[in-house]
Amino acid sequence: MITSIAHTTIYVLNQEEALDFYKNKLGFEVGDDMKIEGDFRWLTVYPKSKPQTQLVLAEPKEGPMFTKDAAEKIRSLIEEGAFGAGVFETGNCQKTYEELVAKDVKFIQPPTEQLYGVEAMGLDNSGNWFSLVQR
């Protein structure tokens, strides 16, 4: 029986730049950062209060996981903004939104009342959208 999700993947255009964004703008902690098989980098981050739920910041490139063609297709989809990074919860959407805007995080929707709470829609530095939600 599956009891939780330990890791989920976010495809990014540049791991080093994504690490800077998730760590220094969103305030995530670094989980693992190691090289495996040549230049394959296993890089994870997590919200400070949830170390058991980690995001893998994966840069698609030719190697053990992708053919050259597949990596190029995924990179193209990232550049088009076709992927979401998930839903990030906060206790105060308006305050967190203001803090992130002050750090130059781009938003496509300010905090807005929804049926489930308050939600803002932001973008990471690769163009992946994310929801910032206060239930």
Per-residue confidence (pLDDT) for residue 9, from 0 to 100:
96
pTM of the model: 0.94
pLDDT in tens, 56-101: 999 999 887 899 999 999 999 999 999 999 999 999 999 999 999 9
38, pLDDT greater than 80: no
Q: Can you identify the CATH homologous superfamily of domain 7-134?
A: 2,3-Dihydroxybiphenyl 1,2-Dioxygenase, domain 1 (3.10.180.10)
Phi, then psi, of 78 in degrees rounded to 5: -60, -50
Q: Are 93 and 133 in contact (CB under 8 A)?
A: yes
In 32-132, which residue ranges form alpha helices assigned H by DSSP?
Answer: 68-79, 93-102
